[in-house]
Structure 1
Amino acid sequence: MRNRTIIISFAAIGLFGLLGWRLFYLQYCRADDYLQSSHRQQHAIVTHQPQRGFILDARGRILAASNKVQTVFVEPRGVADPKEAATKLQEILNFPGHEICGIIQESKNPGFARIMTGITPAQRDSIQNARIRGVGIQSNWQRYYPMGRLTSHITGFVGTEQSGLAGVELKYDVQLRGAEGQNVILVDARRQPIGMRPPDDIVRDGSGLILTVDATIQEFARAALAKQYEAYRAESAVAIVMDPWTGAIGAMVCLPDFDPANFGAESEQMFRNRAITDPFEPGSIFKPIVAALALDAGVIDYDEIIFCENGSYRGKGFRRIGEFGNHQFGDLSVRDILVKSSNIGMAKIGQRMGRQKLYDGLKLFGFGAQTGIDLPGEGYGLLYPPAKWTDSSVTRIPFGHEIAATALQIARAYCILTNGGRVIQPYVVRAVVDSTGNVRQLHRRGSSAGHIIKPEVANWIIRQALTGVVTEGTGTKAASEKWQIFGKTGTANIAGSVQKGYDQTNYVASFVGGAPAEKPEVVILVSIRKPDKSLGKGYSGGTVAAPVFKEILEQTLNYLHRD
């Protein structure tokens, strides 16, 4: 009997010891866990998303903005009977009840399951009046792009979480998205709200962007480019309109383009902003840049005559060089070399410069480096260091081979020639404006203080040589009766992608220039890749690209001078 008493006593002591340990474990070791669990049961967090900032063109037209849309959601853990809730929602939303029930039951998030986005005000009122347990309505922001495809490569687009994925939407995402706010709501056991605490975080709407791009000029450029792009069944096409004095982009069009509001239905290839991502061998539009460098370096004179070998030039260390269209030029001045677009004349100018001078000059113009434009994905182009040049490099780079540049790099180089030799940085965002209307960032940069070539050299290239290209040379289809235009044609071979050498069937047709020559207001580049030669309509820069340039330029200048 005594042994039994002892055993029972020890058992009781052990039991109370275990109970004590359990109480200690729950009270001290798991206290934080249960406190958090209790807090979750008694509180619900409501997150308020900020309104993403607007994007406006240079004249205040909306390119991108966000509107409120209503979303019906369910908190699965708060729904007592999913079938009953689904039946009531089906009648209001005209949405199959079995699908609603499936969404609720299969949700991996016990706190949120989206049922439908974009309900009408009447549907919202009906749901609120029905007071369905566990069902709520959330206001979300939806991005829209009223200009559609027109500015798609500039504005870019946002994803489902309203974060920028391309264009200025990506580049300026931090400024555009703002900061979310949170409210903590006290709820009862049925998850119904019974009170609200002061907000922990105040929502801060995103800042807006004012661009340099003018939607009207953008439309001029797109309409003219699209017409030729389709007529010649081209692979792609680019047009850029720039202010040569400041670097502001007035228009930037890339074809094919896409609908930013429905980007999921488009091929990823459509998203490339080819004006800044795709380098190409520029061909003859490169010649004025090298000629300017040679004149500035003093290796040639303005009135110098160069023998152009009657159309065939051979020498030690380089392959035969001929002329486009099998032209046979003899003695040509530097001006005529540009006007008639002589490859051989430019090759001899390159030989005069030599590797190092030519390379150093091209680096000053920014080739082989990003321009610094405020858009994502910009390429560097390709300019090999002199150590990697062959003996033929100094003869071929001057007429736009053995070097690759983006359309924007070429356009900027022509801006430098146009403004007298000052480097400018291209940009598309003029100002960042916060949600209260205060300007937080303002683009004030124009051209740099110094000249990379002498102003008199740049002015001679523009006003003497390149005006001649349009009046009497390869660019006559760009001529205007109203303005004196300067510019240069280019018909560039495309390097083979599989084997060495060049594609003998396809070309890049380009024209770059501006007006008025006496005081230029715009520089415009047009480049059309792989116009279909089989159509029999031509494929050269003077035939394919120059008319597009003329249309864009005349419409743009008429628009700018309309007052």
Structure 2
Amino acid sequence: MKKFAFKPNGSLYPWRFRLVIALLGLCCVAVTWRIVELHVLDEGFLKNQGDKRSVRHVPIPAHRGQITDRNGEPLAVSTPVLTIWANPSQLINQQQQWPALAEALGTDLSTFSQRLQSNADKEFIYLRRRMVPAAGEAVMALKVPGVYSIEEYRRFYPAGEVAAHLVGFTNVDEKGQEGVELAYDHWLEGLPGKRQVLQDRRGRLIKDVQVVKNARPGNDLALSIDLRLQYLAHRQLREALQEFEARAGSIVMLDVRTGEVLAMVNHPTYNPNNRAHLKPDMMRNRALIDVFEPGSTVKPISMSAALASGRWSPTDQVNVYPGTLRIGRYTIRDVSRAPGGVLDLTGILLKSSNVGMSKIAFDIGGPALRETMQNVGFGQYTGLGFPGERVGNLPSYREWRQAETAALSYGYGLSVTTMQMAQAYAILANDGRKAPMSLLRINEKPGTQQMIPEDVALTVQGMLQQVIELPGGTFRAQVPGYHVSGKSGTARKTSVGSKGYKEDSYRSLFAGFAPSTDPRIAIAVVIDEPTKGGYYGGLVAAPVFSGLMSNALRLLNIAPDNLAEMQQVELPTVDAGEERG
């Protein structure tokens, strides 16, 4: 029997042994070549890989654009602040420094430690955002491991509650949330930059390498309002609400010639710098959002429609006796009885006769009334671009019944905003021409569009002046040294959730312009639910108009047009010694 002989060292299959040795040799050559390549021929690769693990791009904050009034007074500015953040996995081991850190942050130690322990497995939490630089630097001066800072900006509103509804505010990330801040957010917001830095694995800064991209600050915005007039309107409205214990109110002041909004205030208001106890209804810009029936303030617009029709002239008379008018199951009533029962067109406005206005409306028809009201901006956007603005309601009927025509003529059955009412009177004051409205400062006088015939507008201007100045007129709206034109109104408030009107619930209204001989300013005043001392527009809203208009005309250096003749007074002679004394 032949024995099998075992051959060690791969002699049984020599080719396999040689193959394995060859493959191992190739691997060694490949590894050796790669080492030579990385360290000699392509040495930048390892350096780049190392940098990728330590180079970071840190954002450079860009401040938001400034908002100013028409004269450059700041309404919204961005100030530098420090945001303090921490790496809990590092800070959790620094318990001996927690008391000092909590005190510097202005927080309770127990709250601070509880929050830190609940986030111990995380690598990032905010400790406190938007600290003033001095306080933030005091925190960083403690040099607590795991505590870091970020440069940011905080929005500040120097005018506070005075311009809050107009300017609005931003959130914690500097994004517009309300008002102009929201409407022009893309224009105001800045573009952050980038800075290249070297950091270690714990995020600590080793070296500031370079600025990759410069930050671009936001664009500034100059509003049309005059902060001085805004303060005056704010004070005037606040005092009126306190005197008559009213629920709310709004005022709008316009430049008749340019359509610029010179002032827009609302009450109640809020402080945008401290919104800790802010209620939602305090944020509402009532001048542009709240709609209401304008009552008798719409009668000059209805009178313009009558005069424009060619069927009526100022001397025409209307019999309003006995002060009531029955239409089906509705009865129209006049508050003030006309002597003799006959009124001309100026008398209808002076006495605010619903009966007289209704009879004129029956003659010209509902469509003519609606067309004129639409021409002055009722039922349409003002073009201001303000967030949440409402257009109100201007009805259009396939068949105009007498009740609907009459109600529209004396300000019921439609709804408007305070801004729309101010715009309508600005058009009357501008000889029937409509200037585009603007919340931004205008450097050149804009083009206008004729919405009411010029002769009609001039006639109505004169009629509204007599409404203020004739005996029995709205004397509380008079302004010493100036002729003013305007019309008061008192509108009942509708019930919410049911038909009809509330009992003893009114809006007091007044709208007008001055000086009558060359109108420059139009003002609309709305006082919501006065509960003390009366509720008629001529009693509650007219004095607000008078006080604000008086101050505004003098502040803007508009020449008086109703000065009494100057009396010549002969002064006694004074010798040189007395004059020096």
Do they fold alike, i.e. is TM over 0.5? yes
Which residue is 1:398 aligned to? 409
Matches for 1:113-152 after TM superposition, within 5 Å: 113-117=125-129, 131-152=143-164
Once the two structures are superposed, residues 332-362 of structure 1 have per-residue CA deviations (whole angstroms, 9 ceiling, x without a partner) of 1111111111101111121112132222222
CA separation of 1:422 and 1:39: change in aligned 2, threshold 3 A = farther
* Alpha-carbon separation, structure 2, partners of 1:50 and 1:326: 66
The answer to whether the aligner puts 1:343 opposite 2:354 as a matched pair is: yes
Q: CA deviation at 1:527?
A: 1.1
Q: Tell me which moved more, 286-295 or 87-96.
A: 87-96
The corresponding residue for 1:153 is 165
Deviations 1:32-52 (A, max 9, x none): xxxx99887524342222111
Whether the 8 Å contact between 2:350 and 2:467 is mirrored in structure 1 is yes
Report the Cα offset of residue 365 of structure 1.
1.6
Say whether residues 1:177 and 2:189 are aligned partners.
yes
Q: Displacement, 1:132?
A: 4.0
Structure 1 SS opposite 2:222: strand
Aligned ranges 1:181-196 → 2 under 5 Å: 181-196=193-208
Contact residue 340 and residue 469 of structure 1 kept, 8 A: no
3-state SS of paired residue (1:261) = coil
Name the counterpart of 1:552: 548
SS in 1 for 2:128: strand
Q: Which residue of 2 is the match for residue 310 of structure 1?
A: 322
**Aligned-pair distance for 1:93?**
5.0
User: Which amino acid counterpart does residue 525 of structure 1 have in structure 2?
Assistant: A
Cα 1:447/1:282, change in 2 over 3 Å: farther
Task: Judge conservation of contact 1:70–1:139 (CA < 8 Å) in 2.
Answer: yes
CA distance in 2, matches of 1:345, 1:476: 22
Structure 2 counterpart of 1:372, one-letter code: G
| Mean Cα deviation higher: 504-513 or 89-98 | 89-98
Task: Report what 2:432 is aligned to.
Answer: 421
**Equivalent residues of 1:103, 1:113 under 8 A apart:** no
- Superposed counterparts of 1:354-373, under 5 Å: 354-373=365-384
Shift in CA distance, 388/84, structure 1 to aligned 2, threshold 3 Å: farther
TM-aligned CA deviation for residue 447 of structure 1: 4.7
1:267 corresponds, among 279, 288, 292, to 279
Name the SS of the counterpart of 1:336 in structure 2.
helix
Report the counterpart of residue 386 of structure 2 in structure 1. 375
The alignment partner of 2:151 has SS state of strand
Does the 8 A contact of 1:279 with 1:406 survive in 2?
Answer: yes
Structure 1 residues 219-234: aligned runs within 5 Å: 219-234=231-246
Corresponding residue for residue 446 of structure 2: 446
TM-score of the superposed pair, with normalisation by structure 1: 0.85
1:276-297 Cα offsets, whole Å, 9 max, x none, are: 1011001000000111011112
Instruction: Tell me the residue number matched to 2:28.
Output: none
What is the 5 A alignment of 1:456-475? 456-475=455-474
TM-score (structure 2 length as normaliser): 0.82
* 1:294 maps to amino acid: A
Partner of 1:506: 505
Shift of 1:530: 0.8
- Alpha-carbon distance between aligned partners in 1 of 2:55 and 2:387, rounded to the nearest angstrom: 42
Say if 1:310 and 1:328, in contact at 8 Å, map to a contact too: no
Q: Is the 8 A contact 1:74 1:104 kept in 2?
A: no
When structure 1 is superposed on structure 2, of 36-45 and 303-312 the one drifting more is 36-45
Q: Quick one: which amino acid aligns to residue 471 of structure 1?
A: L
Q: CA deviation at 1:202?
A: 2.3
1:217 match: 229
Query: Distance in 1 between the 2:299 and 2:269 partners?
Result: 30
Q: Deviations over 1:425-455 (max 9, x none)?
A: 322221xxxxxxxxxxx6656352x311111
Aligned partner of 1:301 among 288, 294, 313: 313
- SS of the equivalent of 1:386 reads coil
In the other structure, the counterpart of 1:162 is 174
Aligned partners of 2:404, 2:121: CA distance in 1, in Å? 63
Determine which structure has more spread, i.e. the larger CA radius of gyration.
Answer: 2
1:55 alignment counterpart: 67
1:518 is aligned to: 517
Which residue of structure 1 aligns with residue 35 of structure 2? none
Identical-pair percentage: 30
**Aligned amino acid, residue 296 of structure 1:** A
Letter in 1 for 2:537: G
Q: 1:2-21 maps to which residues of 2 (within 5 A)? A: none
Q: Secondary structure at the match of 2:322?
A: helix
Gap change, CA 1:85 and 1:200, over 3 Å in 2: farther
Q: Is contact 1:467-1:487 (8 Å) kept?
A: no
SS of corresponding position for 2:343: strand
Deviates more, 1:197-206 or 1:373-382: 197-206
| Corresponding residue pairs, total | 519
C-alpha separation between the residues in 2 aligned to 1:161 and 1:210? Answer: 23
Q: How far is 1:475 from its partner?
A: 1.1
The equivalent residue for 1:240 is: 252
Contact 2:198 2:209 in 1 (8 A): yes
Instruction: Report the RMSD for the aligned CA atoms in angstroms.
Output: 3.1
Partner SS for 2:388: coil
Per-residue Cα deviation, 1:71-106 (whole angstroms, up to 9, x for no partner): 222134565835366466357657555544544444
> Aligned pair in 2 of structure 1 residues 143, 371: CA closer, same or farther (>3 Å)?
same
The Cα of 1:125 is off from its aligned counterpart by: 5.5
Aligned equivalents of 1:90, 1:538: Cα separation in 2: 56
Give 3-state SS (helix, strand or coil) of 1:212's partner: coil
Distance 1:445 1:388 in 2: 42
SS of the counterpart of 1:47?
strand
Are positions 1:410 and 2:421 aligned together? Answer: yes
CA 1:94–1:366 in 2, change beyond 3 Å: closer, same or farther?
Answer: closer
CA contact (8 A) 1:282 1:404 kept: yes
CA distance 1:388–1:378, change in 2 (3 Å)? farther
Shift of the alpha carbon at 1:309?
Answer: 3.0
Distance 1:326 1:180 in 2: 69
What CA distance in whole angstroms lies between the structure 2 residues aligned with 1:120 and 1:219? Answer: 28
- CA distance in 2 between counterparts of 1:108 and 1:168 reads 42
Distance, in Å, in 2 between the alignment partners of 1:367 and 1:227 is 29
Partner SS for 2:331: strand
Cα distance, 1:405 vs. partner?
0.5
Preserved CA contact (<8 Å) 1:79 1:134: yes
Q: CA deviation at 1:123?
A: 6.0
Structure showing the higher helix proportion among its residues? 1
Please tell me whether the aligned partners of residues 283 and 490 of structure 1 are also in contact (alpha carbons under 8 angstroms): yes
Moved more, 276-285 or 376-385: 376-385
- Give the match for residue 288 of structure 1: 300
Aligned to 2:37: none
Contact kept in structure 1, 2:190 and 2:219, CA below 8 Å: yes
Letter in 2 for 1:208: D
Q: Give the drift of 1:137.
A: 1.9
Q: Secondary structure at the match of 1:70?
A: strand
Q: Using the TM superposition, give the Cα deviation of residue 413 of structure 1 relative to its aligned residue in structure 2, in angstroms.
A: 0.4
